[in-house]
Amino acid sequence: MRAIRVHFTATGSELRMEEVPTPQPGPDQIVIKAQAIGLNRADLGRRRTAPPGQPEPPATPGLDVAGAVEAVGIDVRGWRPGDPVTALVRGAYAEYVLTRAVTAYRPPSGMSIVEAASLPCVFLTAWYALTKMAGLKPGETALIHAAGSGVGMAGIQIARALGARVLTSAGSDARVARGRQLGAEAGVNYSTQDVAAELHHLTGGRGVDVVLDSVGGPIFDASLGSLAQRGRIVTIGAPAGQRASYDANALAAMGQWVKPMGVFNEAQEDGEQRGWSQLKAWFEEGKLHTVVQQVLPWTQAEAAQKLLTDRAVFGKIVMTVV
């Protein structure tokens, strides 16, 4: 089969399409014939992991895939070859993709394969962050940073569906406005406004109860200073830079905390797929909508990734496997 893999070179790294062995399912696994691949910022992380002086083996990026079930392991129940499927995986940039059955999901009714490929990573990330970790309650104020990112786009809608008052942020007035169209009550342009001052104004000095921070850097600092008593921050990635150190004991004295999250751990622990069941229902009821800005063939993977690098995307980019 064909797969797109990251190869390290003397001057950096590059994506190459090449022939690799077709995967076979283990007892609790599914092989998916890929039709569409959703892009995420994690796809851009091309870090060397081999010891100094040793060659870096090529790796297949990608976390989101949608298509049809090709084969199932002997212990897998409820899936048959030909079933439509979307999944959270490691190594989505391939014609055939392997995943555990616990992170394979039935797409919402009426949704296209392209749209389904945009869902798992960002919507499950936002769901587990806001519910399982932060315990967001109706009536609380949720601050969802980076409205234009996939996690931001998903988080605004999920927080609204959970009954929270939703605030957002973005790097331009246009992105803030689109965040409000998704369900945020108000937003902050962190390129031109003082985030902490604006949050103080928007909350009447009370602060925010829950923050979903997928930005990091100075945005995290502003969020930390804008927490209400018993406020919680869930962090995911840090494209704007490392987060400043903080005094966890001082936060605990106010009932506050900061915790990082990894979506794979949460998804694999949700053996009954309760999170996906609720999200699927909300999509089918029209409470949630994905935003796919552009669709490209996977032969243009470098160009697709550059759109993410250049922050030229609102929502998601999806590649079709052709």
pLDDT at residue 263 greater than cutoff 60: yes
Note the pTM of the prediction, 2 decimals. Answer: 0.95
Bridge partners for 294 per DSSP: 317
The shares of helix, strand and coil residues in the chain, as percent rounded to the nearest 5, are 30, 30, 40
How many angstroms separate the CA atoms of 162 and 168, rounded?
Answer: 16
- What do you get for the CA distance between the two ends of the chain, in Å? 12
| pLDDT confidence bin for 242, thresholds 50/70/90 | confident
What pLDDT sits at residue 238? 67
Comma-separated ranges of CATH 3.40.50.720 domains in the chain: 122-264
Q: What is the CATH number of domain 122-264?
A: 3.40.50.720
Q: pLDDT digits over 132-166, tens only?
A: 999 999 999 999 999 999 999 999 999 999 999 99
- Pick the closest to residue 16 from 25, 7, 24 (CA basis): 7
Q: Which residue has the higher pLDDT, 227 or 240?
A: 227
Bridge partners for 167 per DSSP: 143, 186
pLDDT at residue 240 greater than cutoff 90: no
Element (H, E) at 5: strand 2-9
Q: Is 113 helix (H, G, I), strand (E, B) or coil?
A: helix
Alpha helices in 45-142 (DSSP H): 113-117, 120-128
Q: What average pLDDT does the structure give for the chain?
A: 95
| pLDDT confidence bin for 239, thresholds 50/70/90 | low
- Pick the closest to residue 48 from 56, 36, 40 (CA basis): 56
What pLDDT sits at residue 241? 63
How many angstroms separate the CA atoms of 265 and 139, rounded?
Answer: 28
| pLDDT confidence bin for 217, thresholds 50/70/90 | confident
* Domain at 2-119+291-320, CATH class: alpha beta
Q: Which two tokens stand for residue 58?
A: 């090529």
What is the secondary structure of 26-63 as a DSSP string? -TTEEEEEEEEEE--GGGG-----SPTTSPPPPB---S
